[in-house]
Amino acid sequence: MTEAAEKYFNRLYPDGEFKLASTDPEFAEFFANFSCDEVVNQDDLDDRTRMMAILAALLGCQGIDEFREVLPGALNLGVTPVEVKEIVYQACAYLGIGRVRPFFDAVNEVLTEKGIALPLEGQATTTIEDRVEKGEHAQVDIFGDGMKGFATSGPEESRHINRWLSGNCFGDYYTRKGLDYGQREMITFCFLAAQGGCEPQLTSHAAGNMKVGNDKAFLIKIISQCLPYIGYPRSLNALRCVNEAAARQ
C-alpha cells in the first residue's frame, strides 16, 4: 500500500490486515491504494458520512460479504450502532425485506461480538394512528408543499400505495430518531444509486437531497466515495441523475 492508504486502513481496522493480500496480492495492492488513498483523499467528506454512505450503497448493491467486512471499520470511524440500525431499517422501504434480511443478521452478529446489548433503544416517534399524518408532514418538509394531500391523492385503484408511501415509507422510517432528514435522504440516494434501474426515483431523491441541504457538490462526493463499492456504470448513472436534478432547481 501507499503510505496514505496504509494510514487510512489502519484507522479503519487497527491491527487488522487486508484479507485478500495473501491470496490476491496484486489486486489487494491496487484496490487498497485506490479506495483507501486516491478516493478517500479526493475530497473533504468526513469519515462518518463516508462510511454511512458506503454501508447504504452496499445494501443497495447486495454486497453482504463486503458489508460485513466494512461494518467494524464504520463503527471504528464513528458511525453509531443506532445509525447502523436505522440505515438497515430504512433500506427495507427501498429494497424490500427479501434483500435486506441478511443484513440484519450481519449487523446483529457484529454488534454482539462488540458486546453491545440488543435490542437497542427504540427510535420511533409515531403511532399506528398518526403515522400517515406525520409521514406526509415529512414528505412536505423534504419535497415541498406539492406533497400536501399526497396520502389521499391518485387514482382510486392505486391510492392505497400513496397512502402506504406516506404512512410506511415516511411515517414508519423518516420520522424515526437516530438520523435526520439530510442523512435519511443521503442514504436513500445511495440505496437507489447502488441498486440501479430506478433512475426516475434517483433523480427525484437527488432533488430531495438538494432541498434539505445536500447540494450537488455534496452528492458528487457521495457518488465518488461509493464508486469502488458499486462500480462505474451505476456511479455514472447517479451522476447523470444529479445533474438532471440540479438543472431543474
d(CA 127, CA 106): 29
The pLDDT of residue 18: 81
d(CA 125, CA 68): 29
The pLDDT of residue 126: 98
C-alpha cell at position 210:
438538494
The pLDDT of residue 152: 96
Query: For residues 127, 128, 133 and 134, what is the CA-based torsion angle, rounded to 10 degrees?
Result: 30
Degrees to nearest 5, angle at CA 246 with 180 and 74:
40
Residue that is written with C-alpha cell 461480538 in the block: 113
Task: Summarize pLDDT for 100-158 with one digit per residue, the tens.
Answer: 999 999 999 999 999 999 999 999 999 999 999 999 999 999 999 999 999 999 999 99
Asked whether the predicted pLDDT for residue 15 surpasses 80, the reply is no
d(CA 161, CA 6): 49
Label residue 249 by pLDDT band (50, 70, 90): confident
Name every residue whose Cβ is closer than 8 Å to that of residue 217 and which is 6 or more positions away in sequence: none
The pLDDT of residue 231: 98
The pLDDT of residue 50: 98
Percent of the chain with pLDDT over 90: 95
Label residue 14 by pLDDT band (50, 70, 90): confident
Task: Summarize pLDDT for 19-52 with one digit per residue, the tens.
Answer: 888 999 999 999 999 999 999 999 999 999 999 9
3-state secondary structure of 33: helix
The pLDDT of residue 57: 98
- Inter-CA distances, 164 with 135, 151, 209, Å: 9, 8, 21
> Taking the model in full, what pTM does it have?
0.97
3-state secondary structure of 13: coil
Taken in order 199, 213, 142, 184, the sign of the CA dihedral is: positive
